[in-house]
Chain A
Amino acid sequence: MSEKEEVSRRDLLRSATVAGAAVAATVAPAGVVSQAQAQAPAAAPVTVNAAAASAGYTFFRPVDAAFFEAVADHMVPADQLTPSGTDLGIPVFIDRALAGSWGKGDKLYTLGPWKIGTPNQGYQLPLTPAELFRAGVDQTNIHCAKTYGGKPFDGLTSAQKEEVLKGLESGAIKFESGLPSNTFFAEMYQTVMQGMFGDPIYGGNRDKASWKMIGFPGVVAVNQKNIVEYRNKKYTADPLSIADVG
């Protein structure tokens, strides 16, 4: 089908929608339908709410969504510096990271032997990030339920969340499955930071709020021409995302 034919077919469908009543009236002869199409005003272009379209999870189970929203909001509370971690889009960033090739371990060496490495040997588990995060959520919630009367992590008080996150970070919390809790925390913390400070094209750092907070100018600000003028002075510029430049 040629492009022209495609467009005219689309126009036809659109005018059919506008003149829906006429089309629905199956008793109307064909001539009446085409007359109604001819008289229908040009339909306004369809618009979408881009912000609403970018939200939503493709990897998280409900339990993951609740967990990572609670983690993001605890690590990045709404205050005078930033909106809350969830409003910044950090859980959306994590969800997309896990759903994508990074989460599937596309470039990750995951063959044995499986010994616990020393800290400087890096990641040594057979799990892809997506598998690690799911296991980490489940194991943390098992720990929370046992310790805090049946509640999952997102049901805890702020002080209890702090206690759990510190226990994960230090590795003091021992998961039943034997998964090292500090490895889970380290990977999770890294994705929270990436979701906070990474480029907004990845779903986090909404409205470049984190860049505005720290005064980071974004991708293309090069100040070499003004180096004399700005020596020892603060350089302020509206931050630019990759999406603003491309």
Chain B
Amino acid sequence: MATKLKETDVVIVGLGWTGGILAKELAEAGMKVVAIERGRMRSPANDFAVPNIRDEIRYTNRTDLMMNTAQDTLTVRNLTK
């Protein structure tokens, strides 16, 4: 069900490199910024700590930090013969 959040000046969907810089600049210009990420909460101490973050099978081969494609994905399927 949709949740209505409080109104704000700027909403940034996806706080990656670009979104992060945008958020910083906009906040410094005096705007109220809300950034939205999907997925569960991540913390550096638990999700990015050495040595486990070097686990290539988990993160590279099985893409554990990525969106679960069984739930939500774009896919390429062949429809032509």
Q: Residues of A at under 8 Å CB distance from B?
A: 102, 105-110, 112-113, 115-118, 121-122, 124, 190, 194, 198-199, 201-202, 219-220, 240, 242, 245-246
Contacts and interface: CB of A to CB of B under 8 A. Distances in A.
Interface in B6-45: none
B46 to A, nearest CB: 13
Nearest to B78: A115
Contact of A116 (B54, B55, B57, B78): B78
A219 B70 contact: no
Interface in B37-81: 50-52, 54-57, 61-63, 66, 68-70, 73, 75-79
Interface of B: 50-52, 54-57, 61-63, 66, 68-70, 73, 75-79
B54 A242 contact: yes
Contacts of B62: 102, 107
Nearest to A101: B62
A102 B70 CA distance: 12
B68 A199 contact: no
Nearest to A113: B77
Contacts of A108: 69-70
Contacts, number: 61
A112 B56 CA distance: 29
A199 B61 CA distance: 12
21 contacts: A106-B68, A106-B70, A107-B66, A107-B70, A110-B70, A113-B78, A113-B79, A115-B78, A115-B79, A117-B78, A118-B78, A121-B76, A122-B76, A190-B61, A199-B56, A201-B55, A219-B54, A220-B50, A220-B51, A220-B54, A242-B54
B70 A242 contact: no
B79 A109 contact: no
A109 B73 contact: yes
Contact of A246 (B52, B56, B57): B52
Quick one: which of B55, B57, B61 has the most chain A CB within 10 A? B57
B76 A198 contact: no
Nearest to B66: A107
